[in-house]
Amino acid sequence: MSKTFVTKAKQMLHGGDYNPDQWLDYPEILADDIKLMKLSHTNTFSVGIFAWSTLEPEEGVYHFEWLDKIIDDIHGIGGNVILATPSGARPAWMSQKYPEVLRVNASRVKQLHGARHNHCFTSPVYREKTQQMNRLLAERYGNHPALIMWHISNEYGGACHCDLCQDAFRTWLKEKYNHNLKALNDAWWGPFWSHTFTDWSQIESPSPIGESKVHGHNLDWRRFVTDQTIDFYKNEIVPIRELTPDIPITTNFMGDTPDLIPFQGLDYSKFAKHIDVISWDAYPAWHNDWETTADLAMKVAFIDDLYRSLKGQPFLLMESTPSLVNWHKVNKAKRPGMHLLSSMQMVAHGSDSILYFQWRKSRGSSEKFHGAVVDHDNSSENRVFKDVAEVGRTLEKLSEVAGTNRSAEVAFLYDWDNHWALQDAQGFSNETKRYAQTMHQHYRAFWENDIPVDVITKEHDFSSYKLLVVPMLYLASEDLISRFKDFVKNGGTLVMTYISGLVNESDLTYLGGWPHELQEIFGMKPLETDTLYPADRNRVSYNGKSYELKDYATTLDVAEAKVEATYEEDYYANTPAVTSHTYGAGKTYYIGGRLEDDFQRDFYEGVMKELEIHPVADVKHERGVSVQVRQAPECDYIFVMNFTEDEQHVHFESQVTDVITGETLHGDVTFEKYEVRVVEKSK
Ligand code: GLA
Ligand code: ZN
């Protein structure tokens, strides 16, 4: 596998968000920063993210000298700069003079100036102002040798419901429905509750004081919000592409807490097409009181695999905390060992960076107790600073890993439209649908067995995978269903579950039963989905064992399919729960109920055996240890990570070299609590 470097630095990036604009009155602090950067083994700094009021304190009055000096100073120590555009927060003068830049919320309340991430994404004034500022930045710094990447805005998200945005939404709808209002009414099931529109001007965005019950409408609004955000972003980058065509562009993506599921506000699969490098901000709540460390590590692995697969190349961890955050329910510090372990996990899944929010802890306001590399004590001797320096030294030894990728025979399909529509579906149980968490339940079986997985989205070609796992794909277009059929016909194995294939891309149900092509490839059809109360249980018998079922059980009408498992209780006792079917050169499995983890473990073990899908490295261990690989042309880099609080015995079946210590390892090796090793195995 060849290497793909995501920046011209061609190294592991280490550093993070640096806000010197908060410290311009403290020259001695700025001088210390440069010294501390060297001591912490950091090399990359994202500057200017929230600097607009310093860059342009009055309309048309610009101050760049301070930024010139910062960038030169970073360059002076051999560092890299990721330069941000400041649109994530704007100066007060702008909101005051041009109120159209302020957001209007879904209840149609115009917001006051304050906080951040709250601009109108349609406002011509804001678009003009951001483009103007970005042009100045690109003109001034575009050729600076320290500049390796653009960081456009910050964590795009949210929506605006002002009149400008209403007009933009209607224009978007006209385009989508070819100016045919009947087509829109059909897609939105207009006559329901007398919701047929007779003029485009009657349409408004969904609102708690207005419309919220038309599912096609909600779905189109969410799609519009993604497209309008991308449109705003595309406007931001016009001067940047023009003046610096060779500098890659990113914008930092997010995850949703507490389960660290993919961010729901925007369809990142669409956004990914417009940016050069995926980067994201990861804040897992390590050491929490509701899940094991290994469970959380599995969730981090899943979202990393999704964000990496969006572009099929290394990504960047744009923000993380070296210690704690300020916005979790409880802001707990990382225990000794966790910072290195959690950082190495990101690299193992494809990150070419460990970057932090924030370099220096702010002195005032809401983030003054958020973790940082440099604390208020300004010391290089505290635990956090030393942990950061250790990560820095480790990344220096892993420079050859930068640019390497991962390959997988297994893919999971994740879909934002599906998540939105499923959340909206007023059926089943709103509390237990848990689409992304259901993905986790299935993904766990692969993570525990060190089977690499790509988490792909629906535009991705399926043909290179042996196995495609598609849990709870409630919304599936006819076109996607046909692609599933082709995949199976050509030899692929497809797994689907309960609550799949029920509605089309407009969130309209399929008529005449389950889509015919699905019936054909599965050799059966689902009949009825029973939604259980949270405390209800049923059981399923599979291969002579009994497994617990909760939340959902779908009864099946089996035609040619083979019955693999049956329900044990209730009115559908002894009827099929899991089926398989050979179709063309491939095979399908349908899992009718939500089953305990042990079922997924046993079931997928069988599927993996059948498909000859093997662990990625010959390293044996107990549950809770994860082994992930990045592949260089001449060797594999194997990351062995102990996500348990116990000592673990790991067995290396082949001889490998520890990249950090230089030791040769073969046979049994003891791993301490949270210990991680990166080893190299020649090909
Ligand atoms: C986000 C933002 C940062 C900072 C961190 C705190 O990721 O992008 O500016 O507020 O959260 O965790
Ligand atoms: Zn607006």
Q: How far is CA 335 from the centre of its chain?
A: 25
Q: Is the dihedral of CA 320, 325, 328, 329 positive or negative?
A: positive
**C-alpha distance from residue 602 to each of 111, 308, 597, 598 (Å):** 53, 28, 9, 6
Query: From atom 11 of ligand 1, which residue's Cα is the shortest distance away?
Result: 357
* Domain membership flag for residue 182: no
Checking phi first, is residue 190 left (phi over 0); if not, alpha (psi -120 to 50) or beta? alpha
Tell me the best of 21, 49, 52, 155 to mutate to test the pocket of ligand 1, counting ligand atoms within 8 Å of each CB and taking the most: 155
* Integer Cα distance of 92 and 98 in angstroms: 10
* Domain membership flag for residue 369: yes
Residue with tokens 């891309």: 505
* Domain membership flag for residue 129: yes
On whether both 377 and 474 belong to a single domain, the answer is no
Structural contact between residues 637 and 652, judged by C-beta atoms closer than 8 angstroms? no
- Distant-in-sequence, close-in-space partners of 28: CB < 8 Å, separation ≥ 6: none
What residues flank ion ligand 2 with Cβ within 5 A?
Answer: 120, 122, 160, 162, 164-165
Give pLDDT, residue 1: 80
On whether both 390 and 274 belong to a single domain, the answer is yes
On whether both 287 and 341 belong to a single domain, the answer is yes
Active-site residue, 319 included: yes
Which residues sit with their C-beta closer than 6 Å to ligand 1? 154-155, 281, 283, 319, 325, 357, 367, 370
Instruction: Give the closest ligand to the alpha carbon of residue 168.
Output: 2
The model's pLDDT over 303-332, given as tens digits with 9 standing for 90+, comes to: 999 999 999 999 999 999 999 999 999 999
Structural contact between residues 120 and 164, judged by C-beta atoms closer than 8 angstroms? yes
Give pLDDT, residue 58: 98
The total number of structural domains in the chain stands at 3
Q: Which residues pair with 509 in a beta bridge?
A: 503
The model's pLDDT over 116-129, given as tens digits with 9 standing for 90+, comes to: 999 999 999 999 99
Measure 321 CA to ligand 1 centroid, in angstroms.
9
Query: From atom 12 of ligand 1, which residue's Cα is the shortest distance away?
Result: 325
Give pLDDT, residue 502: 98
Give pLDDT, residue 91: 98
On whether both 555 and 666 belong to a single domain, the answer is no
Report the pLDDT averaged over residues 473-483.
98
Task: Supply the range of the domain harboring residue 604.
Answer: 410-611
* Integer Cα distance of 361 and 373 in angstroms: 8
Give pLDDT, residue 444: 98
Give pLDDT, residue 124: 98
Model confidence at 273, pLDDT cuts 50, 70, 90, reads: very high
**C-alpha distance from residue 104 to each of 100, 146, 154, 471 (Å):** 9, 39, 20, 36
* Integer Cα distance of 595 and 612 in angstroms: 24
On whether both 127 and 154 belong to a single domain, the answer is yes
The residue from 362, 379, 401 where one domain ends is 401
* Domain membership flag for residue 87: yes
Model confidence at 177, pLDDT cuts 50, 70, 90, reads: very high
Instruction: Give the closest ligand to the alpha carbon of residue 123.
Output: 2
* Domain membership flag for residue 297: yes
What is the identity of the amino acid at 203?
A: I
Instruction: Give the closest ligand to the alpha carbon of residue 100.
Output: 2
CATH number of the domain that 671 lies in?
2.60.40.1180
CATH number of the domain that 429 lies in?
3.40.50.880
On whether both 373 and 470 belong to a single domain, the answer is no
On whether both 549 and 664 belong to a single domain, the answer is no
97 has pLDDT over 90: yes
Q: Which atom of ligand 1 is nearest to the CA of 325?
A: 12
The residue from 588, 611, 634 where one domain ends is 611
Give pLDDT, residue 225: 99
Measure 202 CA to ligand 2 centroid, in angstroms.
18
Question: Catalytic: which of 56, 65, 100, 319?
Answer: 319
Measure 317 CA to ligand 1 centroid, in angstroms.
13
Query: From atom 7 of ligand 1, which residue's Cα is the shortest distance away?
Result: 281
* Domain membership flag for residue 378: yes
* Domain membership flag for residue 415: yes
Tell me the best of 156, 319, 332, 369 to mutate to test the pocket of ligand 1, counting ligand atoms within 8 Å of each CB and taking the most: 319
* Integer Cα distance of 217 and 568 in angstroms: 41
Structural contact between residues 383 and 391, judged by C-beta atoms closer than 8 angstroms? no
The model's pLDDT over 549-600, given as tens digits with 9 standing for 90+, comes to: 999 999 999 999 999 999 999 999 999 999 999 999 999 999 999 999 999 9
CATH number of the domain that 7 lies in?
3.20.20.80
On whether both 445 and 390 belong to a single domain, the answer is no
- To the nearest whole percent, how much of the chain has pLDDT over 90? 99
- To the nearest whole percent, how much of the chain has pLDDT over 70? 100
Measure 332 CA to ligand 2 centroid, in angstroms.
38
On whether both 322 and 423 belong to a single domain, the answer is no
On whether both 416 and 367 belong to a single domain, the answer is no
On whether both 482 and 596 belong to a single domain, the answer is yes
605 has pLDDT over 90: yes
Burial 316-334 (b: 16+ CB within 10 A, else e): bbbbbbbbbbeebeeeebb
* Integer Cα distance of 105 and 207 in angstroms: 9
Active-site residue, 622 included: no
The residue from 401, 420, 440 where one domain ends is 401
* Domain membership flag for residue 191: no
On whether both 24 and 121 belong to a single domain, the answer is yes
Measure 120 CA to ligand 1 centroid, in angstroms.
20
346 has pLDDT over 90: yes
Query: Would you give the end-to-end CA distance of the chain in angstroms?
Result: 11
Q: Which two tokens stand for residue 68?
A: 């010139």
The model's pLDDT over 148-158, given as tens digits with 9 standing for 90+, comes to: 999 999 999 99
Structural contact between residues 620 and 565, judged by C-beta atoms closer than 8 angstroms? no
The model's pLDDT over 434-444, given as tens digits with 9 standing for 90+, comes to: 999 999 999 99
